[in-house]
Structure 1
């Protein structure tokens, strides 16, 4: 997050993680930020997981990295990912959940009430310089979201968004999926923006658009509950064993939902 405080020894923001996902479309790694919402569940932007609605996600090509208090990265293998069934690139529902095989050390709680403002900060593993040559760091920056009615006007009346303008500073490559934390709760994740300028942190005008997670609480609850059910049934089995188990013991339609790595619809 350009302009934020650089965090190298991560004592207080362990729930913010770095995600690398190999893009078959661009033939390179896609870097993003994620937020741990359960010990093995990370929420991020959907465009960090798939390039478009028809794209397929390969968990073996993705990895979640936890930054420790000793300035070291620990990698976590990915089991599967769930992309919002109504995800529309650069428009709405840009949200996905990644599940890791092993538990992450810490998570942050989701809100139970609508956003009404508060003391907030944003964070991200975005580059600190231009898009191509910047260094990836965890950065944290205090912020004050715009009033909801202003955000709705700026986003053509989209209801599930929270908007920020911070001294015309724009996000950088790697910041997508980063959190908006207000009063200790994960309120939203960064998904897109409106920019006028070039290069990260160099915009003449920049408004960051966050996906309001309270508006997705039903979907998130179903995803986390379903994944917990599958994990408890097959605690340490690899994915191909999980596939065989599910095919034997669950109806076809249910199995398709459990093992989906693209969408999960109810």
Structure 2
């Protein structure tokens, strides 16, 4: 449950652990992927007509909501709902493994950018360990309900060594770990596909959190966007 500050009181099985409500529209690249009228995954607007998400969020078609702060009501002033029928998973994504867990979704029409909806830059420069980044999303609460307002958590990038130790036999160079041992902030079930933003640049896509969520959990595993920079650009150009 959320207390008045938006921080989690009840940690087990909940959404962004120890997160707080994001300042409204401070993450204008954040999108919600809707399925059966519920949020299914997060995503990130990287081009006026393309959303980046996790490959394990793949569907035949998508309803994408942009410019939202609150999930209910979803008709916020300035929000947009756009359908999408075309997506490209990374060719080397092989479920259930989380290697190359990346997908591009092409919106049926470009978004109209505004203060509450706009793209975020990607880069081939990877973040240095220790950099503090922001992960955002809505996710599921323990009781199956959604937190109404978008949640944000500040998490430090961890070294490759930390990540390998936390995920032996899973970690590879296309992955990034972030999260703190001290305060247990991080992503959880329901955040898949959402953004990890470092210094205003997209550096990670939520791939794997620990569930049930517990404090002092392992760091979260993200797909490391910088490693896939050229694939993202080539895929957008080719389609």
TM-score bracket, shorter-length normalisation: 0.7 to 0.9
Which of 63, 74, 80 pairs up with 1:74? 80
Deviation at 1:87, TM superposition (A): 0.8
Quote the RMSD (CA, aligned, Å): 2.5
Partner residue of 2:42?
33
* 2:18 corresponding residue in structure 1: 3
Residue 8 of structure 1, CA deviation = 7.1
1:97 aligns with 2:109: no
Shift of 1:30: 6.0
Mapped partners of 1:9, 1:91: distance in 2: 31
Mark the structure with the bigger radius of gyration.
1
Select the structure that is richer in helix: 1
Q: Counterpart in 2 of 1:140?
A: 152
CA contact (8 A) 1:125 1:139 kept: yes
Aligned residues: 207
Larger relative contact order (C-alpha < 8 A, sep ≥ 6)? Answer: 2
CA distance in 2, matches of 1:193, 1:172: 5
How far apart, in 2, do the equivalents of 1:113 and 1:164 lie? 17
| Cα distance between partner residues in 1 of 2:147 and 2:28 | 20
Against the structure 1 CA distance between its residues 140 and 170, is the aligned structure 2 distance closer, same or farther, given a 3 Å change threshold? closer
1:184-203 alignment runs, 5 A limit: 184-195=200-211, 198=212, 200=213, 202-203=214-215
- The TM-score normalised by the length of structure 2 is 0.76
> Counterparts of 1:122-201 in structure 2 under 5 Å?
122-127=135-140, 129-130=141-142, 132-156=144-168, 157-166=171-180, 167-169=183-185, 171-195=187-211, 198=212, 200=213
* Paired residue secondary structure (1:205): coil
Q: Which digits, 9 at most, give the CA deviation of each residue in 1:96-145, with x for residues without a partner? A: 01111222221001112222243411111213x31513334311111111
Q: Residues 126 and 8 from structure 1, CA distance in 2 versus in 1: closer, same or farther, beyond 3 angstroms?
A: farther
Gaps of 5+ in 1: 23-27, 50-56, 228-266
C-alpha contact 2:21 2:149 (8 A) present in aligned 1: yes
CA 193–177 in structure 1, closer or farther in 2 if over 3 Å, else same: same
- Give the TM-score, by structure 1 length: 0.69
1:223–1:136 distance in 2 versus 1, CA, 3 Å: farther
Provide closer, same or farther for how the CA distance between residues 75 and 41 of structure 1 changes in structure 2, counting only shifts above 3 A: same
Residues 21 and 48, structure 1, Cα contact 8 Å, conserved in 2: no
